[in-house]
């Protein structure tokens, strides 16, 4: 097993993802959508779907990141986040593979470092796909 979380049903633009963002509260939903758009822009092979209630971005069919909206924050999550370089120390979590960045309204986020994590997660998944 290659340890990749695969979704053969992921598509370029999922209407379900669009509907999910429409149902989110202003502020939190907008912030989540901004970061999901960053995931979408990583490459022409990015596909998406709603998995376990959250918009999920895939490199081809392999999940690399997601966003989730909670009562008081947004998470930007990475399926192989434990393997990503994180010099800014943004990643949270203790799972075997997954990590996330918590974005809280009113707290400043290191957007440059988060953008680098999104790009690194995509490139890491592309490398894993090439090796599998």
Report if residue 9 sits inside a domain: no
What's the confidence (pLDDT) of residue 2? Answer: 63
Q: Per-residue pLDDT for 3 more than 90? A: no
What's the confidence (pLDDT) of residue 132? Answer: 81
What's the confidence (pLDDT) of residue 1? Answer: 42
Report if residue 10 sits inside a domain: no
What is the domain range of residue 105?
15-131
What's the confidence (pLDDT) of residue 18? Answer: 97
CATH number of the domain that 119 lies in? 3.90.1150.200
Nearest residue to 75 via CA among 32, 46, 29, 39 = 32
Report if residue 1 sits inside a domain: no
Report if residue 7 sits inside a domain: no
Q: What predicted TM-score, i.e. pTM, was given to this entire model? A: 0.95
**What is the 3-state composition of the chain as percent helix, strand, coil, each rounded to the nearest 5?**
35, 25, 40
6-48 pLDDT per residue, tens: 999 999 999 999 999 999 998 999 999 999 999 999 999 999 9
Q: Is the dihedral of CA 100, 44, 59, 129 positive or negative?
A: negative
39-76 pLDDT per residue, tens: 999 999 999 999 999 999 999 999 999 999 999 999 99
CA distance linking residue 25 with residue 96, whole number of Å: 31
């Amino acid at each position: 097993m290659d340890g990749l979380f695969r979704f053969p049903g992921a598509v370029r633009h999922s209407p379900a993802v669009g509907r999910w963002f429409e149902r989110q509260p202003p502020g939190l939903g907008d912030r989540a959508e901004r970061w999901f758009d960053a995931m979408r822009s990583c490459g022409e092979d990015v596909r998406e779907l709603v998995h376990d209630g959250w918009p999920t971005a895939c490199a081809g069919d392999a999940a690399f990141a997601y966003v989730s909206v909670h009562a008081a924050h947004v998470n930007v999550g990475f399926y192989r986040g434990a393997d990503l370089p994180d010099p800014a120390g943004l990643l949270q979590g203790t799972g075997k593979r997954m990590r996330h960045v918590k974005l809280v309204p009113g707290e400043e986020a290191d957007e440059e470092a988060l953008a680098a994590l999104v790009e690194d997660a995509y490139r890491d998944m592309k490398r894993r796909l090439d090796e599998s």
